[in-house]
Amino acid sequence: MKKKITAGILLLLLLAGGCAQPAYANSAQRHWSGTDVTGAVVTGEDCPIVVERELLIFDVQEFPEQYYPDTDSFLAYTGKVTAEYTFHNPADYTVTATLVFPFGDPPHYGEYIYDQATGRPFDVSDALKYGVTLDGKPIEAAVRHTLKARHTSFSLDEDLPKLAESYIYDSFFVPDMPVRVQRYSVTGIDEEYGAATAAFVINADSAKTRVLCEKQTGGARLRKGSQVSCWVQNGDTITVYIFGELPKEELIWTLYENGACEKVIEGTVSSEFSEMTFKDYALRGYDENSGILESDWYNAQVELLRLGSEIWGNGLVQIEAGVFSLMRWYEYTITLEPGQTLKNAVTAPLYPAIDADYTPSIYAYTYLLSPAKTWTQFGELDITVNTPYYMTECGIDGFTRTDSGYALTLPGLPEGELTFTLSEAERPQPPKRSILHLMPTELIIVPAAVLAAGAAVFLSARRKRRTKR
């Protein structure tokens, strides 16, 4: 009887657990983020140039891999999109316009390509694969960079202002601002404390002082300020940057048993300091051979510190590793004489999001059409998807099957963005769930709860009978 009761309770636990998460045969990664692309945007105001026609061509002859072992294999991927514009100048004067074409940050599956010898990530210069043409002839286009939270959608209002011609203005971070570099060495920790933590409290006026601890792993808001903590062991060096004025109170480190910062332990934290300017700080990791403009790198650092200043307050800055990347743009200039018409084409790499839960996998593509509404006038839009694969879903109705893929002609810009999915099968199968996942949650939880209550009553009755005996 005891075995039967135990088996019943285990069954209830399994039923309850089955409601929480789908069960898969393995725990490998199933989803990979891609990159959104948008069309050309004019940077100036009151530009009279009109778009008579846009031909949007997606070339998808292969799907990306879910992992690339090296840069050569990643750069060999051929997926691309070409936006060909027919521009017309209706004005009676010559118009010179600067255009930008954003094409996102590297995709999830292209982020972690490392040099096996050094362990450092490669600079994957996929932006150099393609470029810009004017009436069929290549023209010079600069590759620009701005800070972007990874795998977030493009926003014209938020992202375009980040493109500055030189060093961006900030009310706090300026090139000649003094920066004090404090380096702290940790010694004397008993080896039994494998999770030792060093911490200090900062309470400064953020309009005058900001403090960044490079190895910060934790933090807390206290009545007396914001606590900064980081894991340490003997021999570690902690670097702290103090921007602007020095805090009124010196940074005092305390060593603790672990990240809870409750039990104080013995140890020594000694310090030495040096000084630099903020420009020196911002350009520390800059490589002039990277293809990134110095001003773009500097401005990205400023934006990163701005965002990091909003987390804790009290003058504390925290930069979360891996959250941000550099978004890429093509920037170029066109000139149209009065009444002139010309064709301008921009080609950029095309990276879909991957959903491997389906069989076969599905690949989701996003092209943002809404920024094109900034043009004075926008005419016909022709969309062609050259692919041997099946279009399984699309956010815009009307695509027809052609010998080379799919096509759609619109009299103007549609509402919303262009999204579509491709797959090797016309009807990819969704992930299979156990029968428990096909049932409403309450149909599992409620009977399980009733059975559990019944089991509890049964066990209680048995105990009472035994007591009476």
Confidence at residue 199, expressed as pLDDT on a 0 to 100 scale? 97
Residue 451 has pLDDT above 80, yes or no: no
Confidence of residue 122 (pLDDT cuts 50, 70, 90): low
Confidence at residue 57, expressed as pLDDT on a 0 to 100 scale? 97
**Mean per-residue pLDDT for 47-63?**
95
Confidence at residue 10, expressed as pLDDT on a 0 to 100 scale? 27
Range of the domain at 106: 33-150+325-423
Residues above pLDDT 70, as percent of the chain = 80
**Mean per-residue pLDDT for 430-434?**
73
Same domain (yes/no): 213, 233: yes
Same domain (yes/no): 191, 139: no
pLDDT, the chain, mean: 82
Confidence at residue 415, expressed as pLDDT on a 0 to 100 scale? 87
Same domain (yes/no): 313, 223: yes
Query: Is residue 129 assigned to a domain?
Result: yes
Structural domains counted in the chain: 2
Query: Is residue 416 assigned to a domain?
Result: yes
177-187 in b/e burial notation, b at 16+ Cβ within 10 A? bebbebebebe
Residue 459 has pLDDT above 80, yes or no: no
Same domain (yes/no): 342, 408: yes
Query: Is residue 383 assigned to a domain?
Result: yes
Same domain (yes/no): 298, 411: no
Q: Which residue has the higher pLDDT, 126 or 118?
A: 126
Residue 410 has pLDDT above 80, yes or no: yes
Pairing, β 209-213 against β 316-317? parallel
Same domain (yes/no): 217, 140: no
Confidence at residue 129, expressed as pLDDT on a 0 to 100 scale? 87
Query: Is residue 428 assigned to a domain?
Result: no
User: What digits encode the pLDDT tens for the residues 357-384?
Assistant: 999 999 999 998 888 888 889 999 999 9
Q: 407, 423, 439: which is the final residue of a domain?
A: 423
Which of 145, 94, 156 shows the shortest CA–CA distance to 123? 145
Same domain (yes/no): 358, 398: yes
Same domain (yes/no): 128, 240: no
Query: Is residue 465 assigned to a domain?
Result: no
Residue 22 has pLDDT above 50, yes or no: no
User: What digits encode the pLDDT tens for the residues 29-46?
Assistant: 444 555 566 676 767 667
CATH number (domain holding residue 77): 2.60.40.3680
Same domain (yes/no): 290, 193: yes
Query: Is residue 46 assigned to a domain?
Result: yes
Confidence at residue 2, expressed as pLDDT on a 0 to 100 scale? 34
Same domain (yes/no): 294, 349: no
- The least confident of 88-92, 332-336, 370-374, 422-426 is 370-374
Query: Is residue 24 assigned to a domain?
Result: no
Same domain (yes/no): 340, 304: no
Q: 255, 283, 317: which is the final residue of a domain?
A: 317
Residue 256 has pLDDT above 70, yes or no: yes
Same domain (yes/no): 194, 296: yes
- The least confident of 52-56, 109-113, 406-410 is 109-113
User: What digits encode the pLDDT tens for the residues 235-251?
Assistant: 999 999 999 999 998 99
Residue 454 has pLDDT above 80, yes or no: no
Confidence at residue 448, expressed as pLDDT on a 0 to 100 scale? 37
Calpha distance 302→62 (Å, rounded) = 39
Residue 266 has pLDDT above 60, yes or no: yes
- The least confident of 34-43, 113-122, 170-179, 421-430 is 113-122
Confidence at residue 247, expressed as pLDDT on a 0 to 100 scale? 94
- The least confident of 15-19, 370-374, 385-389, 443-447 is 15-19
- The least confident of 100-114, 124-138, 320-334, 406-420 is 100-114
Confidence at residue 177, expressed as pLDDT on a 0 to 100 scale? 97
User: What digits encode the pLDDT tens for the residues 280-317?
Assistant: 999 998 988 888 899 999 999 999 999 999 989 899 99
Query: Is residue 86 assigned to a domain?
Result: yes
Q: 317, 338, 353: which is the final residue of a domain?
A: 317
Confidence of residue 121 (pLDDT cuts 50, 70, 90): low
Confidence of residue 7 (pLDDT cuts 50, 70, 90): very low
